[in-house]
Amino acid sequence: MAPTQEHHLLSTEIVNRGIEPSGPDAGSITFSVRVRRRLPDFVQSVKLKYVKLGYHYLINHGIYLATVPVVLLLFGVEVKRFGREELWRTISDNTGGYDLLTVLALFVVFTFTLTLYILSRSRSIYLVDFACFKPVDDLKVTKEEFIGRKSGKFDEASLEFQKRILESSGIGDETYVPKSIMSPEKTATMREGRAEASMVIFGALDELFEKTGVRPKDIGILVVNCSIFNPTPSLSAMIINHYKMRGNILSFNLGGMGCSAGVIAVDLARDMLHANPSNLAVVVSTEMVAYNWYPGRDRGMLIPNCFFRMGCSTLLMSNRRRDYRRGKYRLEHIVRTHKGADDSSFRSIYQEEDAQKFKGLKISKDLMEIGGDAIKTNITTLSPLVLPFSEQFFFFSTLIKRYFSGTGKSSHLTPPVQQISQFAPSSATKPYIPDYRLAFEHFCINAASKAALNELQRNLGLSDMNMEASRATLHRFGNMSSSSIWYELAYLEAKGRVKRGDRVWQLGFGSGFKCNSTVWKSIRTIEPPAGGNPWLDCIDRYPVEDLS
């Protein structure tokens, strides 16, 4: 068998399959090699260019902030040498080497630098509040019911495959799906898509407007993201029509951008708020389950059926200074990573038709490795912006030491069987794993699957409590695509864990392949809500012990 290139850190297992009964190899012992794919160890192969990119972000955002104190200090030192009367006498008498022109020039430099900093500094962006849609109990479905035997859309082999996936998925028995997927009728229709969209989007928006007291006509910016279902007129137009929003609203509709599109929508809303002062923006993140339902037999396309469930999140963002008092969070950082230039990343999650002409999402077998590379790049870029100096010092010094010793340099990828020796103990410099718990108090990691959450916990050195919101969301609501990270934040609020000054890291990843991070800082202590939270009826049952 010709060697194939694979990502490093793939564990292998050689299995004796016995004697070949027939064919050209009859009578010979046969073996198979199983490759257990997992996320790569991030710190084992960190690329310096992404560390450099992170510090580039840091310098660009802080250069004026660092310049102003320096100029102010120099100006203050020069002026402080003289009393008020002595200063003016020195200027008027031209003694001591000072004249009016020198002082004025220094004052002009200071004023110019301060003005440049003020003009270049962006207005703070506040998250006033957010809402997560909770469907009615009639749409609840157990794992056994979800397999959908009564719909007649799957053969026995497909049903057994979905059953095995669900057993290890980390999804519980109270998730929500549209009723149409249980019927023998076709679900991927415009009518079903619009009906589901109206239910989840209007339900979430009604709750948001009720919680914030904002009128729909007060909204100046609207951003909607839904990856698969993109009708004409758009979903953003549907919202404007339903709520009779004003005619000069700036509306945007993001399609085909996968599970990380929620962060992209926040980024777009932030840019629009920077360009339009004293404004309000609403971001809607959702996905249509029925429209994306796959009724065929291709196993790579059956996997999304097992994980995706109904959900929608809406949030109100503001750049008005008066909203600081009632806002919950301030936006600190957004870092986006896109690996779409690589063909394997581009096709890792790919919408296409199977041999029977059924449309669905094709999941690549290499998704874990491809996703791990994108996540590693994003985290490496984000780290200089959020880690304390002590962690950056240890991480960076160890990285440089590994680089010059040869253990940290990039090497050619090798076949899995040849990589077993890489797991042997080595005297090389061990990588320093930064403690991200020093940078963030709370973690909202996209609840894609149980396996993905376990691997991220292992790579980032997080505790079970750090992963609790993600695992609870996957168990209670399933994978709701781009809105999942907001159900996780709602979980933390329902538990009463968000205190003033706490930093929240939201990490989303999906097709493209993309990985995006958002960092929020809590403006005030968030008290457990009395209503308007999807967890209120079940928060006491979590965490569930067997979720990890």
In percent, the amount of the chain with pLDDT more than 70 equals 72
Of 308, 316, 270, 263, nearest to 290 (Cα)? Answer: 308
pLDDT band at 548 (very low <50, low <70, confident <90, very high): low
Q: Has residue 75 got a pLDDT over 70? A: no
Q: Has residue 139 got a pLDDT over 70? A: yes
> Between 410 and 184, whose confidence is greater?
184
Q: What pLDDT, on a 0 to 100 scale, did the predictor assign at position 261?
A: 95
Residue-wise pLDDT for 211-221, tens only, equals 999 999 999 99
> Between 177 and 432, whose confidence is greater?
177
Q: What pLDDT, on a 0 to 100 scale, did the predictor assign at position 88?
A: 57
Residue-wise pLDDT for 505-515, tens only, equals 999 999 989 99
Report the half-sphere exposure of 211 (CA within 13 A, side-chain side). Answer: 24
Once rounded to an integer, what is the mean pLDDT over residues 133-152? 82
CATH entry 3.40.47.10 includes domain 126-409+428-547 = yes
pLDDT band at 16 (very low <50, low <70, confident <90, very high): very low
In percent, the amount of the chain with pLDDT more than 90 equals 46
Q: Has residue 284 got a pLDDT over 70? A: yes
Q: What is the CA radius of gyration of the chain?
A: 28
Q: Name the average pLDDT for the chain.
A: 80
Q: What pLDDT, on a 0 to 100 scale, did the predictor assign at position 131?
A: 96
C-alpha distance from residue 243 to each of 59, 240, 247, 434, 540 (Å): 43, 5, 12, 47, 36
> Between 468 and 402, whose confidence is greater?
468
Residue-wise pLDDT for 359-391, tens only, equals 889 998 888 889 888 998 898 888 888 888 888
> Between 186 and 512, whose confidence is greater?
512
Inter-residue contact 97 to 78 (CB < 8 Å): no
Residue-wise pLDDT for 298-354, tens only, equals 888 888 888 999 999 999 999 999 999 999 999 999 999 999 999 999 999 999 998
Residue 499 main-chain phi, psi, to 5 deg: -110, 165
Token pair 């809303």: residue: 269
Residue-wise pLDDT for 239-262, tens only, equals 999 999 999 999 999 999 999 999
Q: What pLDDT, on a 0 to 100 scale, did the predictor assign at position 394?
A: 78
Least confident of 118-122, 131-135, 312-316, 326-330: 118-122
Q: What is the C-alpha to C-alpha distance for residues 320 and 128, in angstroms, rounded to an integer?
A: 10
Q: Where in the chain is the domain with CATH 3.40.47.10?
A: 126-409+428-547
Q: Has residue 544 got a pLDDT over 80? A: yes
Q: Has residue 84 got a pLDDT over 60? A: no
Report DSSP letters for 48-62, one per residue: HHHHHHHHHHHHHHH
Is the overall model pTM greater than 0.75, yes or no? yes
Question: Which residues 6+ apart lie within 8 Å of 221 measured at CB?
Answer: 249, 250, 251, 269, 272, 273, 276, 279, 280, 281, 282
Q: What is the C-alpha to C-alpha distance for residues 207 and 191, in angstroms, rounded to an integer?
A: 24
Q: What pLDDT, on a 0 to 100 scale, did the predictor assign at position 235?
A: 97
Task: Indicate the burial class of 329 (C-beta count within 10 angstroms; 0-12, 13-18, 19 or more).
Answer: buried
> Between 5 and 123, whose confidence is greater?
123
Once rounded to an integer, what is the mean pLDDT over residues 103-122? 70
Q: What pLDDT, on a 0 to 100 scale, did the predictor assign at position 527?
A: 92
Once rounded to an integer, what is the mean pLDDT over residues 148-153? 62
Inter-residue contact 32 to 26 (CB < 8 Å): no
